[in-house]
């Protein structure tokens, strides 16, 4: 059997990046730029490649019922996702408001964030939701509880990449010195030593193997060195490194390839201000070049791996473990 690959794309709005980089409030007119401008580019590329993917959705961005403000924009976002679901893509839960500190909030808040996003996604697809990804890669026992109660098949938040963690800690420390604190939160370091292949976690300790009814599908890191194999890092890496990381992933039976909506944004065409571009190297690459690189990456994936959705991988892992 060929190894399996699942491509997923987290639809974090531009506000998330303003928060991470401590830039204050984002320009209001860019509230929906990722879903309105970047998502269609991503969807077009996936369709050309014949790829079905998993979209991790922040519930509030597509909740056309609960918001008076921007109702039309949110309805249009929901409509885009409905069309993707109709063609075979999966919609996953990425919380309702994307709080980076969700793992540190009360169990009630966690349950509500998950339930509210779940409600909106079910209204769009008329189907049960199977998967969740925590904001900021930080999964907690309260999240597993809420997911298990809703009958979810999988969580896909564990990102066992110590190098990424160290880089994030350094940036956060630098911003603190500049008195411009980052809205990001350091993940529980125990997650860095979590298994890097799919596993059934312990309900009380998601970073360890156990007996949970749902499975954990960790985000891709290379074997041994645990270098992140995610879209944003591969897009900015020199071609030789990109090839080496992908070749290393071929040693794994499963490649959980994570992208972000912003990977498909174009600073100039989408009107993203220089203050954010200064902090996001990927935004300095024109969209034509990013699409060409992404297209080459996806061709390589398709040549080596059988590409399925995370929900399908989770169903198989549940049977096997
Ligand atoms: Zn996110």
pLDDT tens digit sequence for 98-112: 999 999 999 999 999
Q: What pLDDT is stored for residue 62 in this prediction?
A: 96
Distance 58 CA to ligand 1 centre (A): 8
115 Cβ contact list (under 8 Å, min separation 6): 146, 150
Q: 219 CA to middle of ligand 1, Å?
A: 13
Q: 255 phi and psi, to 5 degrees?
A: -115, 105
- The arithmetic mean of pLDDT across residues 44-70, rounded, is 92
Query: What distance in angstroms lies between residue 98's CA and the mean position of ligand 1's atoms?
Result: 7
Measured in angstroms, how far is the CA atom of residue 64 from the centroid of ligand 1?
A: 20
Cα–Cα distance between 207 and 192 in angstroms, integer? 8
* Other CB atoms within 10 A of residue 91 CB: 26
**pTM, entire model:** 0.94
The Cα–Cα gap between 24 and 295 comes to: 34
pLDDT, position 261: 97
Measure 157 CA to ligand 1 centroid, in angstroms. Answer: 10
The pLDDT tens digits of the residues spanning 100-144 come to 999 999 999 999 999 999 999 999 999 999 999 999 889 999 999
CA 56 to ligand 1 centroid distance, Å: 8
Q: What are phi and psi of 42, to 5 degrees?
A: -65, -45
Reported as a pLDDT band with limits 50, 70 and 90, residue 182 is confident
Q: Which of 30, 32, 26, 54 is nearest to 42 (CA)?
A: 54
Percentage of the chain modeled with pLDDT above 90: 71
Bridge partners of 306, per DSSP, are 4
Give the distance (Å) from ligand 1 centre to CA of residue 1. Answer: 32
**What's the gap in Å between 137 CA and the centre of ligand 1?**
8
Q: Report the separation in Å between the CA atom of 289 and the middle of ligand 1, taken as the mean of its atom positions.
A: 24
Strands 254-260 and 4-10: parallel
Distance from Cα 152 to the centre of ligand 1, integer Å? 19
Rounded mean pLDDT of 30-55?
97
Domains within the chain, CATH numbers bracketed: 4-320 (3.20.20.370)
Ligand 1 centroid from CA 16, angstroms: 8
Span from the CA of 287 to the centroid of ligand 1 (angstroms) = 21
Using DSSP bridges, classify how beta strands 306-308 and 4-10 pair: parallel, antiparallel or unpaired. Answer: parallel
The pLDDT of residue 67? 66
CA torsion 89-93-97-99 (nearest 10°) is -120
Give the pLDDT of residue 68.
Answer: 67
How far, in Å, from the CA of 9 to the mean position of ligand 1? 9
CA of 175 to the centre of ligand 1 (A): 20
Among 97, 152, 107, 162, CA closest to 128: 152
Asked if residue 169 has pLDDT above 80, the reply is: no
């Amino acid at each position: 059997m060929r190894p399996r690959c699942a491509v997923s794309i987290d639809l974090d709005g531009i506000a998330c990046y303003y928060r991470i980089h401590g830039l204050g409030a984002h320009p209001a007119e860019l509230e929906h730029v990722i879903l309105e401008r970047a998502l269609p580019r991503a969807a077009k590329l996936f369709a050309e490649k014949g790829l079905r993917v998993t979209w991790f959705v922040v519930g509030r961005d597509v909740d056309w019922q609960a918001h008076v403000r921007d109702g039309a924009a949110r309805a249009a976002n929901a409509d885009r996702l409905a069309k993707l679901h109709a063609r075979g893509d999966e919609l996953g839960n990425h919380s309702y408001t994307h709080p980076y500190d969700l793992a540190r909030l009360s169990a009630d808040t966690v349950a509500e964030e998950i339930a509210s996003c779940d409600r909106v996604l079910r209204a769009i697809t008329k189907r049960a939701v199977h998967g969740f990804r925590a904001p900021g890669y930080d999964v907690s026992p309260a999240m597993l509880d809420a997911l298990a109660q809703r009958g979810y098949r999988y969580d896909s938040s564990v990102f066992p990449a110590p190098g990424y963690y160290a880089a994030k800690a350094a940036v956060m420390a630098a911003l603190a010195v500049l008195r411009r604190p980052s809205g990001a939160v350091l993940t529980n370091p125990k997650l860095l030593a979590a298994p890097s292949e799919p596993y059934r976690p312990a309900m009380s300790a998601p970073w360890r193997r156990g007996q949970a009814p749902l499975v954990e599908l960790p985000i891709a890191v290379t074997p041994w060195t645990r270098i992140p194999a995610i879209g944003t890092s591969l897009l900015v890496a020199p071609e030789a490194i990109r090839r080496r990381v992908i070749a290393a992933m071929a040693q794994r039976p499963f490649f959980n390839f994570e992208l972000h909506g912003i990977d498909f944004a174009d600073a100039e065409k989408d009107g993203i201000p220089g203050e954010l571009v200064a902090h996001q190297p990927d935004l300095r690459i024109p969209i034509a070049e990013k699409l060409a690189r992404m297209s080459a990456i996806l061709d390589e994936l398709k040549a080596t791996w059988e590409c399925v959705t995370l929900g399908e991988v989770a169903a198989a892992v549940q049977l096997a473990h």
